[in-house]
Structure 1
Amino acid sequence: MDNLDFIQDVDLHRTLTDSIEFIYTIYEQSKNKGQKELYVEETYRVMILYVVSAIEAVFLYIYKARGEKIHYLDYKYIQTLPKEFKYKDKTSSPIVVAVQEKVDRQEYQIGIHDLVNFFKDKKIIKETTATEILELNDTRNTLHFSKPRIKKCDLTQVESALKMLVYVIDRTPKALQNK
């Protein structure tokens, strides 16, 4: 896929290309008449899963290529103060003293939510784009069997998701250049 030529990682390029082809294949299959409504909706949900996963992979690629880091605060050497120390309305909670340390998140700890917010804060993506991607991710999360499927998934959402994927892919080379 020519639009993905900015991805130098051969395996990632192949995975994304194959995944996009898979999305197209199941999209075409979902058009078959006589399919149960549930089957069609679940197929749409899988397409959104793949789209959001592709966006996440592209964002992670940008993140790594730019050499930036997402941090979190870690607390070490935590010491609980004696019970006599109280804090306002939290009198039953202990007060602690700790060393606060800024730690780089490991790649396996970084998800779509982290990447979207990081790029939004860095002004690499717009607030509206961030909101749309996180809404797609919310739809993707309904794929978990233990979560209720309150949100319906339809062709309009799939088309919106695919447009977002194209939007992200088209703008990635610029994000890679503007370090």
Structure 2
Amino acid sequence: MWKPTSLRTMSFPLLGLILMGLTGCSGDHPDTDPLEQVLSSEDPRIRNVMDDPAPYEVQIRYTQIDRKGDSLVFRDFDYQVDKEQYFYPASTVKFPIAVMAIEKLNQLENLNLNTRFYVEGDTLETTFGKEVMKIFAVSDNAASNRLLEFLGQDAINAGFKTKNTGPARFSHRLSV
């Protein structure tokens, strides 16, 4: 229970390697698929997965944002994306939880990002702003779970539905 006070489908190291490789892929070569480029790496951690991808059930969707004058052009690149195959979203669920928590705070007069709170059974007293920051800075599962307690699972699922996220449903806390 939330109380105010004083008014992994892919291993993180592998995901980090892929993301570092993608950030180095610029829009200089418009016909180059950045996923293909990164996933063909000879790095043994990537090679291990790419040589036998089936057990890892890897699905990647990468959106590259290119500037064309004053406009932005979004280009999607996919690896093994299949809408018929269930994909566990792992840490991607943290983003909407953080956004929904900020939206809720904006609707409440007595609470804001600097309000200190703790979750019953937890020893940490923190602020909403610190927990949102930890979600984005270090992908902190405990921070996400604290905001889940503030929002409630039903409210998160209702938020997914009203925001037309497709067939999304939040069903459990993240492990810590």
Q: TM range, normalised to the smaller chain?
A: under 0.3
TM-score (structure 2 length as normaliser): 0.27
* TM-score, length basis structure 1: 0.26
